[in-house]
C-alpha cells in the first residue's frame, strides 16, 4: 500500500513556519530592513514630504458656505500685516518643518507671502478679513469671530489633508513591507534548498504592532477632524446668518509683544470622577503693536471646560508666556517666530525644545519647564514683584 501523497509534508510545513518566523523576527528587530538601503529609506521619506507639500496647495473651492468660486492658492490664516510683518526680519519668519534628509525637525525660514497660507477663500471672501488686516488690530467681537472662523477653516483643511496623507503613507509602507518580506522569504527558502517545495504567491502581515502607534495617531486626527467639522457650522451660522448660538470664544489681550504668531487646534481630555471625554478647541496667538491677543474657541456646550482650561493660564504674565510656549510645542506646528529670537536660544535647549515636539509626551495642559522667550522672562522678573518660588521656577527655565 502506498502512502497517500500530500502537497506538503508536516515536516515541510514546520520548516516553512520556522523560515517565516525568521523573516518576521528580523523585521521586528529592525523594521527599517524593509528598505534596501538607508538612502532608499530617505528617498521614500523625501518623496512623501514633497508630495505632501505639493498636495497642500491643490486647487480647492472657497470654504465659505454656498460659494462655488475657486479659492486663491495662498490665503493667509494669520493676519499678514497685523501679526506676521511686525515679527519678521528681512521679510522672513521661522517655522518648524520636518527635514526628510536628516530625518529630524528643524526651524526653516519662510517668506511672509507663504507663511500660514492654505487654499481657503476666493478673492471676494478674502475681503472679509481686510478691515482688521488693514487696521492692524482686532477691535471688536465680529472681527475676533472672523479670525476664529479663518483659523477653524484652516484646521479643518489641515486635518483632512493630514488624514489623507497618513492613510496613503501607511498603506504604501505596508505594501512595501509585504513585498520585501516575501522576497526575503523566497531567498531564505533558496538558501535552505526548499524553493521547489512551496509555491508562495503572496504574504501579508495581518497584525503589526509597529503600526499601532501610527494608526492610533491616525484615528486621533480623524476624530479631531470630525469634531472640528461639527464646530464649523456654528461659526458659519454666527457670521453669515446672525445666529449667535452654539459657539464659545474667549480672548484676552496682554500688554506684552510675544514675537510669535500662532494658529491651531488641539484636543483637551477631561477627567471627571464619573467620566472621561475629549473636546476639541481652536486656539490662536497674534501679536499686534506692543500687545498679544490670545483666543480659545469651541462648542458652547464645552464652554465651562474651555474656560477652566484658559483660566488656569490667565493667572499672571508668566503663565501666559508659558501658555504661548506650550501651544507652540504641544499644540500646533503652525507658528512663526522672529528669527533672532529662536537663534538666541542655546543649542542644547533648542534640541530639547524640538525633542518635545517630536516626543508627544506632553500636551497643551503642561508647562514646558524650559524657556523660549528668555528676554521677556528676564524683563518680567525685573519688573514684577513675585514670590521666591516663582522667581526660582522661571529662572530655572532659562538655565
Compare residues 67 and 169 and give the one whose CB is closer to Zn ion: 67
* H or E segment and range at residue 162: helix 141-191
What is the rounded distance in angstroms from the CA atom of residue 349 to the CA atom of residue 325? 13
324, 287 Cβ separation under 8 angstroms: no
Residues 6+ apart with CB under 8 A from 173: 34
Cell 503652525, residue located: 334
Among 69, 101, 210, 344, binds Zn ion (CB under 5 A): 69
Among 23, 122, 181, 322, binds Zn ion (CB under 5 A): 122
Among 52, 80, 125, 299, binds Zn ion (CB under 5 A): 125
Pattern 70-109, binding to Zn ion, x per CB under 5 A?
----------------------------------------
**Short-list 394, 348, 344, 343, CA closest to 368:** 394
Q: Single out the segment in contact with Zn ion by CB under 5 A; choices: 124-132, 211-219, 235-243, 276-284.
A: 124-132
Compare residues 69 and 113 and give the one whose CB is closer to Zn ion: 69
What is the rounded distance in angstroms from the CA atom of residue 191 to the CA atom of residue 322? 60
What is the rounded distance in angstroms from the CA atom of residue 268 to the CA atom of residue 106? 26
- The percent of the chain in helix, strand and coil, each rounded to the nearest 5, is 55, 15, 30
What is the rounded distance in angstroms from the CA atom of residue 248 to the CA atom of residue 302? 8
Compare residues 121 and 318 and give the one whose CB is closer to Zn ion: 121
Nearest distance from C-beta of residue 219 to Zn ion, angstroms: 32
Pattern 275-314, binding to Zn ion, x per CB under 5 A?
----------------------------------------
Residues 46-65 that bind Zn ion (CB under 5 A): 62, 64
What is the rounded distance in angstroms from the CA atom of residue 100 to the CA atom of residue 233? 37
The b-or-e profile of 244-270 (16+ CB within 10 A means b, else e) is eeebbbbbeebebbbbbbbbbbbbbee
Nearest distance from C-beta of residue 125 to Zn ion, angstroms: 4
Query: Does residue 130 interact with Zn ion by CB under 5 A?
Result: no
Query: Does residue 372 interact with Zn ion by CB under 5 A?
Result: no
Nearest distance from C-beta of residue 63 to Zn ion, angstroms: 8
377, 318 Cβ separation under 8 angstroms: yes
What is the rounded distance in angstroms from the CA atom of residue 330 to the CA atom of residue 364? 5
Residues 8-47 that bind Zn ion (CB under 5 A): none
Query: Does residue 67 interact with Zn ion by CB under 5 A?
Result: yes
Nearest distance from C-beta of residue 269 to Zn ion, angstroms: 36
Compare residues 63 and 380 and give the one whose CB is closer to Zn ion: 63
Nearest distance from C-beta of residue 124 to Zn ion, angstroms: 5
Compare residues 240 and 312 and give the one whose CB is closer to Zn ion: 240
DSSP string, 289-314: TTEEEEEEEEEGGGHHHHHHHHHHHT
Nearest distance from C-beta of residue 68 to Zn ion, angstroms: 8
Distance separating the N- and C-terminal Cα atoms of the chain: 86
Pattern 225-244, binding to Zn ion, x per CB under 5 A?
--------------------
Nearest distance from C-beta of residue 118 to Zn ion, angstroms: 14
Total number of residues that touch Zn ion (CB under 5 A): 6
Compare residues 57 and 360 and give the one whose CB is closer to Zn ion: 57
Under DSSP, is residue 360 helix (H, G, I), strand (E, B) or coil?
coil
Nearest distance from C-beta of residue 60 to Zn ion, angstroms: 11
Under DSSP, is residue 207 helix (H, G, I), strand (E, B) or coil?
coil
Compare residues 50 and 69 and give the one whose CB is closer to Zn ion: 69
Nearest distance from C-beta of residue 157 to Zn ion, angstroms: 14
Compare residues 153 and 329 and give the one whose CB is closer to Zn ion: 153
What residues make contact with Zn ion under the rule CB under 5 A? 62, 64, 67, 69, 122, 125
Amino acid at each position: 500500500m502506498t502512502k497517500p501523497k500530500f502537497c506538503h509534508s508536516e515536516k515541510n510545513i514546520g520548516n516553512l513556519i520556522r523560515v517565516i518566523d525568521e523573516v518576521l523576527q528580523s523585521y521586528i528587530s529592525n523594521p527599517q530592513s524593509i528598505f534596501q538601503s538607508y538612502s532608499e529609506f530617505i528617498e521614500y521619506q523625501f518623496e512623501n514630504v514633497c508630495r505632501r507639500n505639493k498636495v497642500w496647495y491643490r486647487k480647492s473651492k472657497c470654504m465659505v458656505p454656498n460659494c462655488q468660486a475657486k479659492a486663491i492658492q495662498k490665503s493667509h490664516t494669520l493676519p499678514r500685516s497685523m501679526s506676521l510683518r511686525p515679527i519678521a526680519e528681512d521679510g522672513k519668519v521661522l517655522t518648524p518643518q520636518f527635514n526628510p534628509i536628516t530625518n529630524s525637525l528643524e526651524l526653516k525660514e519662510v517668506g511672509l507671502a507663504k507663511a500660514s497660507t492654505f487654499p481657503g477663500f476666493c478673492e471676494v471672501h478674502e475681503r472679509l478679513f481686510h478691515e482688521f488686516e488693514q487696521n492692524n488690530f482686532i477691535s471688536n467681537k465680529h472681527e475676533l469671530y472672523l479670525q476664529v472662523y479663518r483659523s477653524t477653516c484652516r484646521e479643518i483643511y489641515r486635518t483632512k489633508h493630514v488624514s489623507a496623507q497618513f492613510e496613503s503613507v501607511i498603506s504604501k509602507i505596508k505594501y512595501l513591507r509585504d513585498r520585501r518580506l516575501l522576497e526575503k522569504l523566497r531567498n531564505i527558502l533558496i538558501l535552505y534548498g526548499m524553493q521547489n517545495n512551496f509555491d508562495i504567491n503572496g504574504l501579508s502581515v495581518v497584525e503589526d504592532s509597529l503600526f499601532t502607534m501610527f494608526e492610533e495617531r491616525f484615528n486621533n486626527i480623524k476624530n479631531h477632524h470630525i469634531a472640528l467639522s461639527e464646530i464649523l457650522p456654528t461659526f458659519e451660522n454666527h457670521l453669515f446668518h446672525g445666529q449667535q448660538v452654539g459657539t464659545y470664544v474667549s480672548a484676552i489681550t496682554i500688554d506684552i509683544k510675544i514675537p510669535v504668531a500662532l494658529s491651531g487646534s488641539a484636543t483637551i481630555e477631561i477627567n471627571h470622577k464619573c467620566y472621561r471625554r475629549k473636546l476639541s478647541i481652536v486656539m490662536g496667538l497674534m501679536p499686534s503693536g506692543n500687545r498679544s491677543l490670545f483666543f480659545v474657541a469651541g462648542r458652547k456646550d464645552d464652554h465651562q471646560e474651555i474656560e477652566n482650561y484658559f483660566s488656569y493660564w490667565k493667572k499672571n504674565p508668566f503663565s501666559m508666556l508659558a501658555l504661548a510656549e506650550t501651544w507652540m510645542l504641544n499644540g500646533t506646528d503652525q507658528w512663526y517666530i522672529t528669527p533672532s529670537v529662536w537663534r538666541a536660544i542655546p543649542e542644547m535647549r533648542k534640541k530639547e525644545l524640538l525633542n518635545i515636539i517630536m516626543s508627544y509626551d506632553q500636551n497643551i495642559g503642561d508647562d514646558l519647564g524650559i524657556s523660549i522667550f528668555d528676554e521677556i522672562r528676564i524683563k518680567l522678573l525685573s519688573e514684577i514683584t513675585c514670590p521666591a518660588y516663582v522667581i526660582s521656577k522661571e529662572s530655572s527655565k532659562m538655565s
